[in-house]
Amino acid sequence: MFLNYYRGKRVLVTGHTGFKGAWLSLWLKQLGAHVIGLSLPAPTQPSLHELVGARACEREIICDIRDAGALESAVADAQPEVTLHLAAQALVRRSYAAPLETLVTNAIGTAHLLEAVRRLGLGCPVLIVTTDKCYENREWDFAYRETDALGGHDVYSASKAAAEIIAQSWRRSFFAPDPRLGPLATARGGNVIGGGDYAAERIVPDCVRALLAGQALTVRNPKAVRPWQHALECLSGYLWLAARLGTEGKSSPLNSAFNFGPDPAARQPVRRLVEEFLRHWPGSWVDASDPKAPHEATLLTLSIDKAAAQLDWRPVWTFAEAVQHTAVWYHRRHVMKADDLVEFSVSQIETYTEFARRQGVAWAQA
């Protein structure tokens, strides 16, 4: 898989204690990589990292990416052959309570990482992970393409748009002309679900908490449409893009931005996600719409035409399959009280990979 690119390589994953970072670290371990995690402590308790961290990472570095000096020292110590940057303040609603923290972490933290790589003269491919919310959302029916305007109503979205602009500037000003430095690209994922997410005010973790408490789930924005995808979908895109960057180098057109989203059928309202989840773990929900709540987009979709054309990448699981695998993971941990969650998570990666292989997806054949 992935051109066997990761076997034996030192891979730096920033934000490895987060939900997506933990899944990514575990997958990289299965691919034979030497994973070095760099992050603040896990942002939630419980977390996925507490289960998989020791199994996935050969080394873990506690570091705040807002501290440029500490970050550069950590990167110098790690000497990565691949860098995957996921560290972020990842919540829209928290950005209303902590706007400066969000901006400094997501925008300036990204600049700190890129500057550390530049100052150290590292030739590794670098992938900066942002979000679908980096686009200037006009609430239209068309899916956003990589060439559409960046923006953001809330500080979280603006901070991720800024991270995209910063990466583009460092690529043009420093990475492209410097023969010591490697390729640099950015990746924009959809609304990610999957086992192990425990963040506050996210719909799936909220659903799990309500079910465990025997309460009805309160849904604050049931009509909002999102491009739902399992974490493994966008992570397969990140891994494939970084592997291709590493093999094709800076002259490749892949040194750019890519969307990794679901099929159009997975663009569903929040209420549909909740109803699908409750098919696998029965419960109830109530509409808690509040017109005075902080602004959140009601319609957001991604075009994945570029990833399909240039990477031969496409989603593997349907919306229903993504929700099923997510619900089963939480049910196994919290209701069945299973103690094999690492093995079970690996089995979900293997199941996803087999689906991809059967569908002829490029990264699973390489």
Count of domains for the chain? 1
Task: Give tens-digit pLDDT for 57-76.
Answer: 999 999 999 999 999 999 99
Task: Give tens-digit pLDDT for 109-152.
Answer: 999 999 999 999 999 999 999 999 999 988 777 899 999 999 98
Range of the structural domain that residue 64 is part of: 2-365
Task: Give tens-digit pLDDT for 230-278.
Answer: 999 999 999 999 999 999 999 999 999 999 999 989 989 999 999 999 9
Distance CA 49, CA 51 (A): 5
Calculate what percentage of the chain has a pLDDT beyond 70. 98
Residue 294 has pLDDT above 80, yes or no: no
Residue 230's CATH number: 3.40.50.720
Q: What is the mean pLDDT of the chain?
A: 95
Q: What is the pTM of this model?
A: 0.96
Amino acid making up residue 296: E
pLDDT of residue 139: 77
